[in-house]
Amino acid sequence: MAKSTFLVFVLGLVAVCCSSAAEAARAVTGGENRQPLVNRVYVFGDSLVDVGNNDYLPPPAPRANRPYGMDLPGRPTGRFTNGYNLADIISQRLGFKTSPKAYLSMWPLDKFLLGFCQIGANYASGGSGILDTTGEGTLTMRTQIKYFKRAADQMFCFPSKEDHLANSLFLLSGGGNDFLAFNPSTDSVPAYIAKMVSTYIEHIQSLYNLGARMVGILDVPPVGCTPGLRLGTSNGACNDVANSMAQGFNNLLRTQLADTVAANMKDLKYSIASNYNILTDMIFNPFIAGFKEVETACCGVGRFMAEDMCSHGNTTACTDNHNDYMFWDKIHGTQATYEHGVVAFFYGNGPKYADPINFSTLVTKKGAVASTIELVTDE
């Protein structure tokens, strides 16, 4: 294993050993108050970053009922994992307490604060995808952006809306559900991937036209190595066809987005975090990340605990230390997995983990270490 890869995972292991990202930050700073690295965070995408929008949608939109969220206090949080998800942990690295609130959960006061740029918003919807046809009953990414436009059109910010949005992080996650919805009888793989990439770039262009200038993108993870897709192979190995499609999408997205930014979005600063490479490294080097189980989910039923989604029917959650597991359910990672991943694409060197720059460089002029800031509590 490369030296830089080893150091990234050691950093991730240290982060997981702390009881929360907040405590980790306070341990470094000694309680010193500092400002967050960006104005606000606006989140779009799927269940990797949804913090409860689906709780306000009727069936068949999937819901993250208990035991999802069981490692966070109070009622189920709408997060498709055991604790904090990627939107939360990224927001914590930026200096916020958690992800901004789910947009559909906002009360009038929340929307008032959103309009005056005092809070961000999370528009993500579990089960949705890049394509409009993905995710029955969910908020498509196009719909999510329409909700954001509705809010942005009414924003009044100091010193200006343009300055506020230009210095806010727009976080996007999508693509995994589109591959789960792929039908080889109606689409060819190259055509489907090309449609996904062109549609994704349309979404990014729409956000750019609305004022986004700082975009963080989470690429498609190795979906073929999730417990749910291992279940479909005779020997329990990763599904190479699914992983090949994910890699094809990730590669084409990097190439075409770079060309489009150079031609049409010259003021856009972006980073594509490689969920694919990070999770692959964890799967094949689990001991470095501190995992004891990288094939079987913690919550589910049957072979690989992947024969049904967590919280359905007779599914149960494991009684072991949840941080020992890479996967919480048949599709989603545990909070521990996400904490390792965020360390990697914030501070990893070179394009393996984040391209063309890492998230730390994206959100700071000099790439300062974001984990040394004290968390603020406005979101």
Per-residue pLDDT reduced to its tens digit, 96-106: 999 999 999 99
Of the two residues 315 and 23, the one the predictor is more confident about is 315
CA 84 to CA 89: how far, in whole Å? Answer: 7
**Confidence at residue 373, expressed as pLDDT on a 0 to 100 scale:** 32
**Confidence at residue 9, expressed as pLDDT on a 0 to 100 scale:** 43
Q: Is residue 377 part of a domain?
A: no
**Confidence at residue 34, expressed as pLDDT on a 0 to 100 scale:** 62
CA 45 to CA 204: how far, in whole Å? Answer: 12
> Using one digit for the tens of pLDDT, what is the confidence trace for 115-152?
999 999 999 999 999 999 999 999 999 999 999 999 99
Q: Is the model's pLDDT at 23 over the cut of 70?
A: no
Q: Is the model's pLDDT at 7 over the cut of 60?
A: no
Catalytic site includes residue 308: no
Of 176, 186, 80, 78, the closest CA to residue 130 belongs to 176
Domain hosting 354: range is 3-372
C-alpha to C-alpha distances, 7 to 108, 135, 209, 348, nearest whole angstrom: 46, 38, 39, 9
Q: Is residue 379 part of a domain?
A: no
CA 8 to CA 11: how far, in whole Å? Answer: 5
Q: Is residue 193 part of a domain?
A: yes
Q: What are phi and psi of 376, to 5 degrees?
A: -100, 165
Q: Is the model's pLDDT at 350 over the cut of 50?
A: yes
Catalytic site includes residue 355: no
Residue 256's CATH number = 3.40.50
Half-sphere exposure of 124 (CA within 13 A, CB side): 33
Q: Is residue 311 part of a domain?
A: yes
**Confidence at residue 54, expressed as pLDDT on a 0 to 100 scale:** 98
- Which listed residue (203, 322, 332, 340) is catalytic? 332
247: pLDDT confidence band, cut at 50, 70 and 90?
very high
Rg (CA), the chain: 19
Of the two residues 31 and 80, the one the predictor is more confident about is 80
Catalytic site includes residue 274: no
Average pLDDT (334-342) is 98
Q: What are phi and psi of 49, to 5 degrees?
A: -130, 0
- This prediction's pTM: 0.89
**Confidence at residue 322, expressed as pLDDT on a 0 to 100 scale:** 98
Average pLDDT (318-334) is 97
Q: Is residue 103 part of a domain?
A: yes
Looking at the structure of the chain, the number of domains it has is 1
- Which listed residue (20, 47, 168, 274) is catalytic? 47
- Which listed residue (329, 340, 355, 371) is catalytic? 329
Q: Helix and strand tally (H, E) in the chain?
A: 14, 8
CA 361 to CA 341: how far, in whole Å? Answer: 16
Average pLDDT (223-240) is 96
With a CB cutoff of 8 Å and minimum separation 6, the contacts of 172 are 43, 44, 45, 141, 203, 204, 215, 216, 217, 218
DSSP 29-40: HTT-----SSS-
CA 239 to CA 224: how far, in whole Å? Answer: 4
Q: Is residue 347 part of a domain?
A: yes
